[in-house]
Amino acid sequence: MEQRKFWPWIWDSDGWSVALVLLLLVFFSQNATSTPIYNTFHSENHDWTFNHLTVHQATGAVYVGAINRVYKLSGNLTILVAHKTGPEEDNKSCYPPLIVQPCTEILTLTNNVNKLLIIDYSENRLLACGSLYQGVCKLLRLDDLFILVEPSHKKEHYLSSVNKTGTMYGVIVRSEGEDGKLFIGTAVDGKQDYFPTLSSRKLPRDPESSAMLDYELHSDFVSSLIKIPSDTLALVSHFDIFYIYGFASGNFVYFLTVQPETPEGVSINAASDLFYTSRIVRLCKDDPKFHSYVSLPFGCVKGDVEYRLLQAAYLSKPGDVLARSLNITAQDDVLFAIFSKGQKQYHQPPDDSALCMFPIRAINAQIKDRLQSCYQGEGNLELNWLLGKDVQCTKAPVPIDDNFCGLDINQPLGGSVPVEGVTLYTTSRDRMTAVTSYVYNGYSVVFVGTKSGKLKKVSLWFCFVFI
Ligand SMILES: *[C@@H]1O[C@H](CO)[C@@H](O)[C@H](O)[C@H]1NC(C)=O
Ligand SMILES: *[C@@H]1O[C@H](CO)[C@@H](O)[C@H](O)[C@H]1NC(C)=O
Ligand SMILES: *[C@@H]1O[C@H](CO)[C@@H](O)[C@H](O)[C@H]1NC(C)=O
Ligand SMILES: *[C@@H]1O[C@H](CO)[C@@H](O)[C@H](O)[C@H]1NC(C)=O
């Protein structure tokens, strides 16, 4: 009996909230009348929706981050461990630990929304961060979800108290046997003093290390972090950056964000007046000064319709067939991304949505062009929200190759010409909200989840699309 397993699937029901049902499709090709078998798993309380899911590459164990729980399930969705994370007494105005910093605010029983769930493979542990206590994290043993450490006694341990999923993303970078790094991008909800929008943290192998989650570099002049300037919040009162997805590829770490546009000197007070842009942010893995920060808008177009509001993304491989048609190799990375139409309704995205594809090689080529033209002294840095004004690019005779990691000039660098993806499929009903992909027999197969919980399979043959 051959059993073929597809990715466990999770979808969101209204853009911000999360999966209600987890579905595992198991196809048995035992006889001609193959019957799909559905196993389901529900949390103990139906209000405790699922926020994140990750499947262990080697063991196939499924880890689910939900409101108030982290679950470990077997591949067939049998529950193995339920780890309690909430609700607990908390108040957003309090900073832990309460024994050290007594808080006079009224404490109420508060849900702990899972914000981050990443497997730290080389140390056999799971990083699980929540919304409680300003967003502290736990390191849990993969086997039994035993708490290895829950650092919460200094500012660096708080990642963000925003209690919505789809606002924070983390990427672990680690060379075998060495201490790791955690890159974190997060919405800050106006608390820009407390929380950097983007930072890299130490992730020591020893869970007891006092350096756990410290900024990789933190000095008066240079640090491994970027804060939203208070001037930007004064000008655009609802300004924030939402981190939808992130990944490491080659020497770089990438984050995919959605953020309001900030035209120079234009003050915006009503949230309804905001235009949003999706952006790719790229940093070198090994650049604690963040001089390599580059950010370009991205999206895709079909006919004269622009799709600019990122909903979900997934980094994958193209497979031989798609690779050949894109003139890349099967080992190259490609990004599949879903966007909603337009730039206005980020918080209630339109149903009109597109599935698009970006070879990482093409993203890097466009970033390299942008760097080269800026180092020729052409134009401005174009990063208003961070620089607050137009800063001219400085001409400098520096060779810029594929792995250029920036200097202390011409950084941080933005841009206004979008990286345009290949539009694979669009639909105007039942917005697409989730995407995953794998390679089967050399062909790239993409699964798309929709708002109403439907699953669509998209097969890519030489860029022709079969649904
Ligand atoms: C599910 O998997 C577990 C462990 O992998 C196994 O012990 C159990 O029998 C399986 N249950 C079903 C219903 O297949
Ligand atoms: C937090 O404390 C303030 C002041 O004590 C109180 O007004 C507020 O209701 C509390 N918030 C919650 C969610 O309990
Ligand atoms: C998030 O916080 C808001 C306001 O504090 C609250 O109304 C909402 O119920 C919280 N969400 C969850 C899932 O607990
Ligand atoms: C394919 O890529 C190679 C190297 O990346 C390049 O030299 C070649 O010109 C490309 N071919 C086409 C048709 O774009």
Residue 389: pLDDT above 70? yes
Quick one: average pLDDT of 165-181?
A: 91
**Residues making up the chain, counted from first to last:** 467
Residue 8: pLDDT above 80? no
pLDDT at 356 (0 to 100)? 96
Using one digit for the tens of pLDDT, what is the confidence trace for 20-46?
223 333 222 233 344 556 788 888 888
The alpha carbon of 68 and the centre of ligand 2 are apart by a number of angstroms equal to 20
pLDDT at 198 (0 to 100)? 98
Residue 291: pLDDT above 90? yes
Residue 440: pLDDT above 60? yes
Q: Which of 16, 18, 163 to mutate to test the pocket of ligand 3 (most atoms within 8 A of CB)?
A: 163
For residue 353 the two structure tokens come to: 């949505």
Distance CA 325, CA 463 (A): 7
Quick one: average pLDDT of 176-202?
A: 93
pLDDT at 175 (0 to 100)? 80
Q: Other CB atoms closer than 10 Å to residue 260's CB: what's the count?
A: 21
The alpha carbon of 358 and the centre of ligand 4 are apart by a number of angstroms equal to 17
Ligand 2: nearest atom to the Cα of 91: 1
**CA-closest candidate to residue 410, choices 387, 393, 388:** 393
pLDDT at 35 (0 to 100)? 54
Q: Is the peptide bond before 397 cis (omega within 30 degrees of 0)?
A: no
Q: Other CB atoms closer than 10 Å to residue 399's CB: what's the count?
A: 7
What single letter denotes the amino acid at residue 206?
Answer: D
Give, using CA atoms, the residue closest to atom 8 of ligand 2. 106
pLDDT at 264 (0 to 100)? 76
Query: pLDDT-derived band of residue 270, with 50, 70 and 90 as boundaries?
Result: confident
Q: What is the pTM for the complete model shown?
A: 0.90
pLDDT at 104 (0 to 100)? 86
The alpha carbon of 399 and the centre of ligand 4 are apart by a number of angstroms equal to 22
Q: Which of 88, 89, 91 to mutate to test the pocket of ligand 2 (most atoms within 8 A of CB)?
A: 91
* 3-class secondary-structure state, position 56: coil
What one-character-per-residue DSSP string does 316-336 give? Answer: E--HHHHHHHHTS-TTS-EEE
- Do 263 and 282 meet the contact criterion of CB atoms below 8 Å apart? no
Ligand nearest to the CA of 106: 2
